């Protein structure tokens, strides 16, 4: 399989409310998410991060040497396919990849309501769930909000394995992740900006 063929982004659904975003039931083709999952479980590259509204482990995939079978995650072909797709979905012309990271939330971790806005450095985000055997009782739901109020929920999204969500970052792109219970919740995050 050529690297340009690893992206599926199947069953795309786009919505402009409460901010422009899309979802996909399958990000990668042919079980590639299983290779990612196996590596995420055993790598020692994780760095612990604690902030006001979240606690998690992170890896900047753009700055490490990935195993050969995972090079597709950051390859030029993959980035080109994703950039073209996001430009089309969000009706942009000049999105550019900023970085690719992996996140891990373990039992008791969560992310409070936030909008990801950090000026113009980051304008769009694509989140890929790598969570085989996830069950609703494990928590870790991605939530979108109509406002910064905790009871103003627009959608609750299950972190189903190999699913993906992309959204435009703005001062009203409020989202959060509910508390994780007895589980390691993994995501691959692609961040873009308008150059």
State how far the alpha carbon of 152 is from the alpha carbons of 44, 144, 148, 155, in Å. Answer: 38, 9, 7, 9
pLDDT confidence of residue 79 = 96
| Residue 86's CATH number | 2.60.120.620
The string of pLDDT tens digits covering residues 72-117 is: 999 999 999 999 999 999 999 999 999 999 999 999 999 999 999 9
pLDDT confidence of residue 166 = 98
Q: Would residue 51 count as lying in a domain?
A: yes
Count of domains for the chain: 1
Q: Would residue 7 count as lying in a domain?
A: no
Averaged pLDDT for residues 44-68: 95
Q: Would residue 6 count as lying in a domain?
A: no
The mean pLDDT value of the chain amounts to 95
Sequence-distant (6+) residues with CB within 8 A of 142 are 127, 156, 157, 159, 165, 175, 176, 177
The string of pLDDT tens digits covering residues 2-39 is: 655 899 999 999 999 999 999 999 999 989 999 999 99
Domain limits for position 188:
17-194
For the question of whether the overall pTM of this predicted structure is more than 0.85, the answer is yes
């Amino acid at each position: 399989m050529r690297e340009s063929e690893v992206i599926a982004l199947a069953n795309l659904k786009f919505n402009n409310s409460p901010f422009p975003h899309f979802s996909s039931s399958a990000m990668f083709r042919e079980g590639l998410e299983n290779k990612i999952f196996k590596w995420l479980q055993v790598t020692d590259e994780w760095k612990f991060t604690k902030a006001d509204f979240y606690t998690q482990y992170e890896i900047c995939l753009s700055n490490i040497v990935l195993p050969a079978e995972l090079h597709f995650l950051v390859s030029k072909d993959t980035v080109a396919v994703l950039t073209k797709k996001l430009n089309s979905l969000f009706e942009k012309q000049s999105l550019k990849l900023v970085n690719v990271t992996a996140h891990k939330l373990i039992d008791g971790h969560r992310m409070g309501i936030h909008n990801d806005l950090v000026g113009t450095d980051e304008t769009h985000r694509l989140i890929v769930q790598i969570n085989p055997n996830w069950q609703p009782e494990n928590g870790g739901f991605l939530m979108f909000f109509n406002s910064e109020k905790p009871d103003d929920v627009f959608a609750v999204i299950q972190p189903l394995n190999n699913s993906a969500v992309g959204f435009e970052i703005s001062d009203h792109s409020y989202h959060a992740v509910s508390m994780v219970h007895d589980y390691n919740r993994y995501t691959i995050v692609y961040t873009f900006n308008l150059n």
